[in-house]
Amino acid sequence: MRSRKKPDYILLGTIIAILLVGLTALLSASSVQSQEDFGDIYSYFKHQLVFGIGLGVLAGFLTYRIHYKKWRSLALPLLLLSIFSLILVFIPSFSIEAGGARRWISIFDFSFQPSELAKLSFVIYLSAWLDARRAIVKRWNESFVPFILIVGILGTLIIFQPDVGTLGVIVLTSAFIYFIGGASMSQMAAILFLGVGLLGVLIKSAGYRLDRFTAFMNSSVDPLGISYQINQALLAIGSGGILGIGLGKGMQKYNFLPEPMKDSIFAVWSEEAGFVGGVILISLFMFLCFRGFRAAKNSPDRFGRLLALGITFWIISQAFINISSMIGLIPLTGIPLPLISYGGSSMVVTLAGLGILLNISKHS
C-alpha cells in the first residue's frame, strides 16, 4: 500500500510559533491605539485574529491542498490579476488614499493591498518563466531584457503608489530567483548597477525618502523630526535590556513610537521581551529560512526548487529588512514584519505562500 506523503511538520511548527509570538506582540502593541479608536483594547487584535490569521490560515490550507505543479499554469493569470489590481489603485472610485499614498483598493467595503498579492504572484511567475527558459537564461536578448521589462512594469506601478519598501522586496526577490535560475555574473552585475542607480534616483526624487536616508546616516539630525522614529525605536529596544520590562508594560506604544502595531512592532516586542525575546524571534525566522531552503533542496523538480527558494527568500528578506530598519542598520522602509505586524493583506498572502511551501515539502 502506498504511504501517504506528509508535509514538513517542523516547518509548520515554526510558522505556528512565529504566529504565536506575533499575536502576543500585537495584543500589547495595538492596545493603546485600539482603546483610543474603539474604546476596546482588543479591537485591533480581534480584527487581526479573524481577518488576518483566520482568513490567512484558510488561504494557506487551500494552497497547501493544491499540488504545487498546478501553479505553473496559473502563473500568468495570477500576474495579470496582480497588474490589474495595481492599476485599480490609481482609480479613485476603487482605491483608498492614506498618508498621501494610494496602496489599497476597496470593493464592497473589503479593502486589500494589491502589492502584497504581487509579491507572491511574481515569485510564482518568475519560477515558471525561468524553468521554461533554463537553456537560454544566460542570453541577454532572450532572457535578461525580458526579465528587466517584466520587473520594470511591476515596479513602475508600485513606485507611483508610492511603496518603495515593497518595491525593494520584489526587486531583491526577483534578482535572487533570477540568479538561482542560472543567470551569469555579468547579468547579476548589471542588475546591481541598475538597482543602485534606481535607488539613488528614488531617494533624490522625494523629500521624505531623502529625510529617511539622512536620518539613517546621522540619527542626531532633527531628533524631533526626521530622526524621531528611528530614535524612538532604538530607545524602545535599548530600554528592554536583556529580559525586557515585561509583556504589556512597554511605554513606547503610548503614542511615542509611530506605527507601533505595524512597521515598528519589533521595537515594541524588544522593549517588552528584551534582547532574549528579539533573539528568539530572529532565530525563528532563521529556522524558517533553513526549513524552506531544505524543502527547495529536496524538491523533485526545478520549478518546485525555484518556487520554494523564492517564497522563502521573499518572506525572510522582508523580515530582516524590517528588523534591520528598526535597529538602524538600513534606512526606515515602511514595510510590515511578516506574520507579526497588523494587516490582513500581508498576513493572508504570506500564509498562502507558506501553504505552497508546505505542499512542496510534502512532495520532497
| Span 145-176, pLDDT tens digits | 999 999 999 988 988 887 888 888 999 999 99
| Span 212-235, pLDDT tens digits | 777 767 667 766 777 788 888 888
* Residue 73: other Cβ atoms inside 10 A: 9
Average pLDDT of the residues of the chain: 89
At 36, phi and psi to the nearest 5? -70, -40
pTM of the model: 0.92
Q: Which three cell numbers stand for residue 283?
A: 532565530
DSSP state string for 201-217: HHHHH-HHHHHHHHHHH
| Span 84-139, pLDDT tens digits | 999 988 887 777 766 666 777 877 777 788 889 999 999 999 999 999 888 888 88
Q: Is pLDDT at 1 greater than 50 in this prediction? A: no
**Average pLDDT value for residue range 268-278:** 94
| Span 245-268, pLDDT tens digits | 999 888 888 888 888 899 899 999
Handedness of CA 146, 150, 156, 159 (dihedral sign): negative
For the CA atoms of 211, 205, 86, 153, the dihedral, rounded to the nearest 10 degrees, stands at -130
Q: Under a CB-based contact definition with an 8 Å cutoff, are residues 333 and 19 in contact?
A: no
